[in-house]
Amino acid sequence: MDNRCRKQGLWCVALGAQAWLMVAAAAPAAAGDARRGEPMYQRYCTGCHGVDGRGGAKNFMPHVGALTRKGYTERLEDSYLMAIVAEGGEAFGKSAYMPSFKTALSSQDIADVIAYVRTLPLY
């Protein structure tokens, strides 16, 4: 990291995330399979986001926001959600508790998890 990035701190992280999004937007996202995504969601996501995607799972604090709140997740592009899951929350100005899953899940796995999340009922 050069001196400008050290001085600018968060600004460089934001630029890096923005550049990643530009690349992700240029490449078409793989079509997700909700049936394949469900067991991965259950394994990797329910501890924080809850079985129903409403957040605030019993075994995680601070409170995690809902994935199924009307007017929120359904408006987000798959490529953006894929980037957050791959890179972790902190890279996008979200909670640093959201880890990066790029070493645990393939791009197809992440697309499958997102497809599953999109099947959860909104409230």
Quote the CA–CA distance of 24 and 95 in Å, as a whole number. Answer: 21
Quote the CA–CA distance of 53 and 56 in Å, as a whole number. Answer: 9
For residue 102, the Cα-to-chain-centroid distance in whole angstroms is 11
Residues of the chain above pLDDT 90, percent? 56
Mean pLDDT is highest, among 29-38, 47-56, 61-70, 110-119, for 110-119
Q: What is the pLDDT averaged over residues 102-120?
A: 98
Quote the CA–CA distance of 32 and 21 in Å, as a whole number. Answer: 18
Q: What is the pLDDT averaged over residues 49-63?
A: 78
Quote the CA–CA distance of 55 and 1 in Å, as a whole number. Answer: 35
Residues of the chain above pLDDT 70, percent? 71
Quote the CA–CA distance of 49 and 41 in Å, as a whole number. Answer: 9
- What domains appear along the chain, each with residue ranges and CATH number? 3-117 (1.10.760.10)
- Per the CB < 8 A criterion, the answer to whether 47 and 53 are in contact is no
Q: What is the pLDDT averaged over residues 23-38?
A: 73
Q: How confident is the model at residue 59 (pLDDT cuts 50, 70, 90)?
A: low
Whether 23 has a pLDDT exceeding 70, the answer reads no
